[in-house]
């Protein structure tokens, strides 16, 4: 396919800029280009066709089944887009005075209230642009907390070997030393090992629960207690929240800080680079360290203070999510910086329209709907796991949560067909591959997360395709090394692409 620059024809296209309606200003020479910018020249229809062609070559949730484990590729309801395109949300400027954007601040405040209720936290920052960025911000909160308590030696953070690679990376970026601990035979945290590694140098623990092999750690309360007893804090990687919304809350499991991936759990679009959103929630004792630009609700009677806290404290999950902020008439919203803020991790208040999409999703489903979504997600994963276990090895037997892991190791030993080969064969059959080679503790891993938005019929069709591929492995294993045959590009040199990216035309 040609690039826009190659499609360009001199004289095509037109200038869509409106006529100048303000006095013309001239730039100083030092700020002017020496040579005119060489922009591609294309008509609107040429441009439109180019992007439509590109869109047809990509695979998204609107093309078909997308069981990419750990990524929660659920359907993104169109009503989210409708809300996010309302002029009152799109036509604002981040520097405009807060009193002229009260509805937008209320949306932020309301989303914060909902996320607090869903996670069991007391405050949320929306600045982080995605999950990994949230991890960084969250770990910075933990670090700031220890430093504020004169506990400078707490520099070690414990991360189980099932963790997403971003966990150790974020902790490392925040200047902490990562202590990797092995999982037990069931894929969960090994309590004996955890007890051994905690100490007066422990900053905290980073954990996702259910973990990346799809298991809810039965010892979760004991785990978070061991870390607290040692003086550390508990960080919850909320990427797997889709399994437990409205059922259990990280705050009740003993976690002090969480990040959420709005683009996973709360149905805002992702893949292809964003924009995402990775809000971070924390317990009250960490609130003073949160990044800048926290929305504060102030009663119009002039009594300052965060009325939100009182509102949340007196509500149950369903009340908090189901109710419009009845107080909005008497409340005005403004931005404030917490007293010991870690500073900004991103400009202003994060990706606002992503937050609007998530709020729409939460309001549309309500408390009961969110809970139902998690229940369906777990049911779907168990259905697929059970049926696929007839012809593939499941890495960890028993009930799973919202995702599960297959291991192709035995098949590879016998036939030479790897997890990668199976993933490529699925592509030829119209199914997006599962996550491959993750988590690292499972060899030849394929990690499958159907999500709640898939029907039994879609899953049955996918299971038939998995079976067909299994049959092909039996009959003609070598043929799988050549797949995919039907995609716009065949096997890519992924290592070379990552190590030597060509980012310029």
**How many Cα neighbours within 13 Å face the side chain of 106?**
17
Nearest distance, CB of residue 350 and ligand PLP, angstroms: 13
The conformation of residue 400, written as its DSSP 8-state character, comes to -
The distance between the two most distant Cα atoms of the chain, rounded to a whole number of Å, is: 77
Round to whole Å and give the CA distance between 220 and 224: 6
Nearest distance, CB of residue 119 and ligand PLP, angstroms: 15
- Cβ atoms of 270 and 263 within 8 Å: the answer is yes
CB of 71 or CB of 370, closer to ligand PLP: 71
Taking the alpha carbons at both ends of the chain, their separation in whole angstroms is 13
CB of 166 or CB of 374, closer to ligand PLP: 166
Nearest distance, CB of residue 217 and ligand PLP, angstroms: 14
- Which residue in 119, 125, 166, 268 binds ligand PLP (CB under 6 A)? 166
- Cβ atoms of 215 and 441 within 8 Å: the answer is no
CB atoms inside a 10 Å sphere around CB 177: 11
132 scored as a contact of ligand PLP (CB under 6 A): yes
159 scored as a contact of ligand PLP (CB under 6 A): no
> Considering CB under 6 A, how many residues would be counted as binding ligand PLP?
15
Backbone angles phi, psi at 235, to 5 degrees: -105, 130
- What's the alpha-carbon Rg for the chain, to the nearest Å? 25
Q: Which stretch binds ligand PLP (CB under 6 A): 36-44, 128-136, 354-362, 480-488?
A: 128-136
Nearest distance, CB of residue 488 and ligand PLP, angstroms: 25
Nearest distance, CB of residue 70 and ligand PLP, angstroms: 4
Sign of CA dihedral 185, 186, 187, 192: negative
Nearest distance, CB of residue 351 and ligand PLP, angstroms: 11
CB of 238 or CB of 246, closer to ligand PLP: 238
- Which residue in 119, 127, 202, 212 binds ligand PLP (CB under 6 A)? 212
131 scored as a contact of ligand PLP (CB under 6 A): yes
- Which residue in 76, 80, 125, 208 binds ligand PLP (CB under 6 A)? 208
Nearest distance, CB of residue 55 and ligand PLP, angstroms: 22
Nearest distance, CB of residue 164 and ligand PLP, angstroms: 3
Q: Which stretch binds ligand PLP (CB under 6 A): 124-132, 248-256, 300-308, 489-497?
A: 124-132
Q: Which of 344, 306, 342, 345 is nearest to 148 (CA)?
A: 342
Round to whole Å and give the CA distance between 79 and 357: 8
Using CB atoms, what's the residue nearest to ligand PLP?
131
- Which residue in 130, 176, 233, 362 binds ligand PLP (CB under 6 A)? 130
Nearest distance, CB of residue 264 and ligand PLP, angstroms: 6
Nearest distance, CB of residue 328 and ligand PLP, angstroms: 31
Which positions ≥6 away from 183 have C-beta within 8 Å? 160, 161, 162, 189, 190, 211, 441
Q: Which of the residues 45 through 104 are near ligand PLP (CB under 6 A)?
A: 70-71
Q: Which of the residues 213 through 242 are near ligand PLP (CB under 6 A)?
A: 237, 239-240
Which positions ≥6 away from 401 have C-beta within 8 Å? 210, 214, 215, 216, 240, 243, 244, 378, 381
CB of 333 or CB of 349, closer to ligand PLP: 349
Nearest distance, CB of residue 128 and ligand PLP, angstroms: 9
Round to whole Å and give the CA distance between 125 and 293: 8
CB of 71 or CB of 400, closer to ligand PLP: 71
Q: List the x/- string, 265-304, binding to ligand PLP by CB under 6 A.
A: -----------x-x--------------------------
Q: Burial, 335: exposed, middle or buried (Cβ in 10 Å; 0-12, 13-18, 19+)?
A: middle
> H-helix or E-strand containing 295?
strand 294-299
DSSP letter string, 117-144: HHHT-SEEE---SSHHHHHHHHHHHHHH
358 scored as a contact of ligand PLP (CB under 6 A): no
261 scored as a contact of ligand PLP (CB under 6 A): yes
Which positions ≥6 away from 424 have C-beta within 8 Å? 433, 480, 483, 484, 491
164 scored as a contact of ligand PLP (CB under 6 A): yes
249 scored as a contact of ligand PLP (CB under 6 A): no
Where do contacts with ligand PLP occur on this chain (CB under 6 A)?
70-71, 130-132, 164, 166, 208, 212, 237, 239-240, 261, 276, 278
């Amino acid at each position: 396919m040609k690039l826009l620059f190659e499609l360009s024809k001199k004289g095509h296209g037109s200038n869509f800029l409106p006529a100048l309606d303000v006095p013309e200003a001239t730039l100083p020479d030092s700020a002017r280009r020496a040579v005119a910018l060489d922009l591609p020249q294309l008509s609107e229809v040429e441009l439109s066709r180019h992007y439509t062609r590109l869109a047809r070559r990509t695979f998204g949730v609107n093309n078909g089944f997308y069981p990419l484990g750990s990524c929660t590729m659920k359907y993104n309801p169109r009503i989210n887009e409708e809300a996010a395109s309302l002029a009152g949300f799109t036509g604002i400027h981040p520097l405009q005075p807060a009193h002229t954007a009260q509805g937008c601040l209320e949306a932020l405040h309301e989303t914060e209230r909902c996320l607090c209720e869903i996670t069991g936290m007391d405050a949320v920052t929306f600045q982080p642009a995605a999950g990994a960025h949230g991890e960084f911000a969250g770990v910075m909160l933990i670090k700031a907390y220890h430093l504020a308590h004169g506990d400078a030696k707490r520099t070690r953070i414990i991360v189980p070997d099932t963790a997403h690679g971003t966990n150790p990376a974020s902790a490392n970026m925040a200047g902490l030393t990562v202590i990797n601990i092995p999982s037990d035979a069931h894929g969960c945290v090994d309590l004996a090992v955890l007890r051994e590694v905690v100490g007066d140098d422990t900053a905290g623990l980073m954990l996702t629960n259910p973990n990346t092999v799809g298991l809810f750690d039965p010892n979760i309360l004991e785990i978070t207690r061991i870390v607290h007893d040692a003086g550390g804090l508990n960080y919850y990687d909320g990427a797997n929240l889709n399994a437990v919304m409205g059922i259990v809350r990280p705050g009740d499991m003993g976690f002090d800080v969480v990040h959420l991936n709005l683009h996973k759990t709360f149905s805002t679009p992702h893949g292809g680079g964003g924009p995402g959103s990775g809000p971070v929630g924390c317990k009250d004792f960490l609130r003073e360290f949160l990044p800048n630009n926290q929305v504060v609700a102030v009663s119009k009677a002039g009594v300052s203070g965060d009325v939100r806290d009182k509102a949340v404290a007196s509500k149950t999950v369903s009340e908090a999510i189901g109710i419009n902020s009845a107080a909005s008439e008497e409340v005005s919203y403004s931005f404030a910086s917490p007293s010991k803020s870690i500073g900004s991790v991103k400009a202003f208040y994060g990706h606002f329209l992503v937050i609007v999409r998530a709020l729409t999703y939460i309001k549309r489903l309500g408390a009961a709907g969110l809970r139902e979504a998690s229940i369906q997600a777990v049911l779907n994963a168990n259905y697929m796991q059970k049926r696929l276990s007839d012809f593939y090895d499941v890495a960890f037997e028993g009930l799973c949560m919202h995702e599960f892991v297959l291991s192709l190791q035995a098949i590879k030993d016998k036939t030479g067909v790897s997890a990668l080969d199976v993933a490529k064969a699925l592509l030829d059959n119209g199914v997006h591959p599962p996550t491959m080679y993750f988590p690292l503790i499972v060899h030849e891993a394929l990690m499958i997360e159907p999500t709640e938005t898939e029907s039994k019929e879609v899953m049955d069709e996918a299971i038939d395709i998995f079976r067909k591929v299994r049959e092909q492995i039996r009959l003609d294993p070598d043929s799988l090394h050549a797949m995919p045959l039907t995609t716009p590009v065949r096997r890519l040199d992924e290592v070379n692409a990552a190590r030597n990216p060509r980012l310029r035309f």
